Amino acid sequence: MGFSAVGLSGFGGVLPFARRMLVEERRWMSPEEFNAQLGLCQFLPGPNVVNLAVIVGKRYQGLAGAIVAPVGLLAGPVAVVLLLALLYDAYGSLPLVQSMLRGIAAVGAGLLFAMAWRMGMAIKDKLAFLPFTVMVVAAIAWLRWPMLWVMLSGLALSGGLAFWRLGRR
């Protein structure tokens, strides 16, 4: 049951750490296996790392592993975050803390933009598929439509296009 320890070493940073631990340190998966499983987790809904923990846990230890792995992954970070929540309750209203958090949020927004950019550039056939990205941004960020309907109709359109193109080749 080395799994809770594994979960805890994933603490401190997410996917890159999980990869290092699973593939490089413990050699529980080959890099190809890791990519395949991660790809699956990334397009299934739900938190990616948690999904990954469930899948890996199940594969090696059955039900017990599938429970222990995500719990181990989350327990430490949840405790830290709750501690921060207490601090925020105590000091969050101080102007200095507020401006510090605003600075972090600005940088955080920048990191998100960069991540979106990287993911966008990794898409094959950008010309065909990036218009769907623009549609999602318009619907969600500008029109503030509910995400469920945007995603369902978007997936019908963009998945439909992908299906058609796969059939043509």
Subset of 33-72 contacting other proteins (CB under 8 A): 36, 39-40, 42-51, 54-55, 58, 63, 66, 70
Q: How far is the CB of 124 from other proteins (least distance, A)?
A: 8
Q: How far is the CB of 142 from other proteins (least distance, A)?
A: 9
DSSP string, 69-106: HHHHHHHHHHHHHHHHHHHHHHHTTSHHHHHHHHHHHH
**Among 32, 127, 167, 168, which residue interacts with other proteins (rule: CB under 8 A)?**
167
DSSP 8-state secondary structure symbol assigned to residue 46 = S
Q: Which is nearest to 2 in space by CA: 20, 22, 19, 16? A: 22
Q: How far is the CB of 23 from other proteins (least distance, A)?
A: 18
Total of chain residues touching other proteins, rule CB under 8 A: 89
How do the residues of the chain divide into helix, strand and coil, expressed in percent and rounded to 5? Answer: 85, 0, 15
Q: How far is the CB of 79 from other proteins (least distance, A)?
A: 9
Using the minimum distance from each CB to other proteins, give the nearer residue, 1 or 115.
115
Q: Which two tokens stand for residue 42?
A: 């990334």
CA-based radius of gyration for the chain: 20
Q: How far apart are CA 160 and CA 11, in angstroms?
A: 38
Check binding of 1 to other proteins (CB under 8 A).
no
Check binding of 74 to other proteins (CB under 8 A).
yes
The site map against other proteins for 77-116 (x = CB under 8 A) is: xx-xxx-xx--x---x---x-xxxxxxxxxxxxxxxxxxx
